[in-house]
Chain A
Amino acid sequence: MTTATFTGKAEQPTRGAQASYLTAEGFTLRSWLLTKDHKRIAILYTISITLFFFVGGAAATLIRFNLVTPPGLFQPDTYNRLFTMHGIVMVWFFLIPSIPTTMGNFLIPLMIGAKDLAFPRLNLLSWYLFVIAGVLGLVAIFAGGVDTGWTFYTPFSTMYSNGYVVLALAAVFVSGFSSILTGLNFIVSIHRLRAPGLTWYRLPVFCWSNYATALILVLATPILAITLALVAVERLLKVGIFDPALGGDPLLFQHLFWFYSHPAVYIMILPGFGVISEIVPCFARKPLFGYKFVVWSSIAIAGIGFFVWAHHMFVAGISLYAGLVFSLLSYIIAVPSAIKVFNWTATLHKGWISFDAPMLYALGFIGLFTIGGLTGLFVANLAFDVHATDTYFVVAHFHYIMVGGMVSAYFGGLHYWWPKITGRLYPEWWARIAAILIFFGFNLTFFPQFILGYLGMQRRYASYPPEFQIWNVLSSAGASILAVGYALPLFYLGWSLWRGKKAGPNPWAATGLEWRTPSPPPPHNFDVTPTVTRPPYQYRPDPEPQDV
């Protein structure tokens, strides 16, 4: 539709013949902090969220450490601050930005054959907002922490909590604007900057998934921002609309909060779907089965995701009628998710599968996401949810999606595109060991939590009845394995930056425009704007990528 306007722009004179984005602007800190190159901004984001991943991970480690013995090792107040810190950091400073701001920023312009995102300065601004938010968050943590849980439920957060709530709210508020600007940039770029011939149905699923994610970022985040602002003012001035003592309604807060936070679950998984949809065809050497279904199920998830939020409030005092409506709608959203799992499985069928590290992560993703999704149906059920609300069943359910799903997809994508991003190959055997450790460590950590939740262990308590100890010890043991699995890539990927073999433009013999340019790519991605003539994932009959 927009391709007609993409003709006749003369190429800029190239600076150095072989300069990549890593070298072309020089090596100074200034050249990085003032860059407008989407690839460099992606690297800045990667460094930032890796830091937060380990901050949130440290909190998780301490949580599992505490729960090894029934009385708990920490004071309850300390424990409350630990799980709050874990939740806030992992949700807003790792999972929400994870794939979109790193691989999304890096790859979307490459995949659509563009020289950059539509608004490069806005892109840099959104990183700075993220950094400001991160600093506010870290100050809140190190000043003494917050004990509200990541959900900031009122009136506890506004009246009774004695942590640094306003600072934490400010951190999330600012990070929200960072998210909005990233989403806006993606939507506009994918609409307006596609290369000639790159029609919507030739667009890689990764772009579609990030587009769907961007819709949610743009339409849900502002509600969160304003709600948290209202909470902050209510806390500061002791006047407001959420506290029943003032005449307000705490359910009003919950409606607004979950109007954002349920769709936010899809912010945290849709980009993962995109990564898996790239990896599976490449390592099965087959076109993605049911491309259009995969694409439209992403859009459907982004849309329907806004219709189910009150399933988080079944026992909070909402009307029974609303409970029925939201329970039913929550079932519906399982359909597009299931379509995706079917399509990935069908893509594997009769494929020439090779088990490189990205594929191991992808296969792990499919299994873990399926478990997480199916248990999601359990808790969408009104009657079962009354039993499971606020138990470890729910904790296990969403960790299967967020960690088993999204974090696996993040690592899978990181390995898959590592040669493109850095120009170096990572050590394959180490990567496979890490992938396998993560898969087993994850299951050992979180499967026992399903059982604990079913048996009735409540979340967010520092101590528990002694009969639950065996499952908690298993879970903590799994967490240690998981920690090793997550730390390993830091070492071997770091090593590969200097010692890894040169990758060449297309080490996986993959399709997609990002593989048609050198690794690492030149500053403006393509010397000649590419033209697209075929649908994506044409791995058969000829597995070689088509030339420009």
Chain B
Amino acid sequence: MRGADAGLGRPPRALVLTWLALLGLVALTLGLAYVPLGRMGIVVALAIAAVKAGLVVTLFMKLFRGPVLARVAAGAGLFWLAILFSLAATDYLARNDAATGNFSLPTGREGSR
């Protein structure tokens, strides 16, 4: 069997296509960054990043061919990050609430306790 071990051989087609798709997405997101999309700009850029991440996770890391537990672990990481973002948002998004008169984006008044 050692005889087959000459040179690099040809890369699997799926990996090459994934690589090309990733490079294409880099070009796309770079181009779109110069299009004035306003506040949507970052949303589009992150959506493209998510697609790239999906390609890497699926085709390079083979997450969906491995054991279920690997998927659970990966999902748990993202879910727990979502907890941090969403529950902290209950504070930050409501901080300017006129009903409470609780306007206190960083002004220094909070100080330390």
Contact = CB atoms under 8 A, between A and B. Distances in A.
Interface of A: 153-156, 191, 215, 219, 223, 244-245, 247-251, 255-256, 259, 306-307, 309-310, 315-322, 325-326, 390
B87 A219 contact: no
19 contacts: A153-B112, A153-B113, A154-B112, A219-B76, A219-B80, A244-B106, A249-B106, A251-B91, A307-B83, A318-B95, A319-B90, A320-B94, A320-B97, A320-B100, A321-B90, A321-B91, A322-B91, A325-B90, A390-B113
A316 B102 CA distance: 12
Contacts of A322: 90-91, 94
Interface in B72-113: 76-77, 80, 83-84, 87-88, 90-95, 97, 100, 102, 104-113
B69 interface: yes
Contact of B77 (A219, A321, A326): A219
B77 A319 contact: no
Contacts of A244: 106-111
Nearest to B91: A322
SS class of chain A's interface: helix, strand, loop or mixed? helix
Nearest 9 Cβ contacts at the A-B interface: A244-B108, A322-B91, A319-B94, A321-B94, A320-B100, A317-B110, A249-B106, A322-B90, A318-B91
Contacts of B76: 215, 219
Interface of B: 69, 76-77, 80, 83-84, 87-88, 90-95, 97, 100, 102, 104-113
B112 A156 contact: yes
Contact of A306 (B69, B83, B105): B83
Contacts of A319: 90-95, 97, 100, 102
Given A316-B113, A320-B100, A310 B91 contact: yes
Nearest to A157: B112
A317 B87 CA distance: 16
A248 B95 CA distance: 15
A321 B108 contact: no
Contacts of B110: 244, 249-251, 316-317
B103 to A, nearest CB: 10
A219 B93 CA distance: 25
B87 A310 contact: yes
Contacts of B102: 317, 319-320
A318 to B, nearest CB: 5
A307 B112 contact: no
B106 A248 contact: yes
B89 to A, nearest CB: 9
Contacts of B109: 244, 317
Nearest to A323: B91
B99 to A, nearest CB: 8
A393 to B, nearest CB: 16
Contacts of A320: 94, 97, 100, 102
Nearest to A155: B112
Contacts of A326: 87, 90
A250 B111 CA distance: 7
Contacts of A259: 84, 88
A321 B108 CA distance: 21
A107 to B, nearest CB: 23
B12 to A, nearest CB: 28
Contact of B91 (A154, A155, A255): A255
A287 B94 CA distance: 49
Contacts of B83: 306-307
A318 B97 CA distance: 11
Contacts of B84: 223, 255-256, 259
Contact of B106 (A223, A247, A316, A390): A247
Contacts of A309: 87
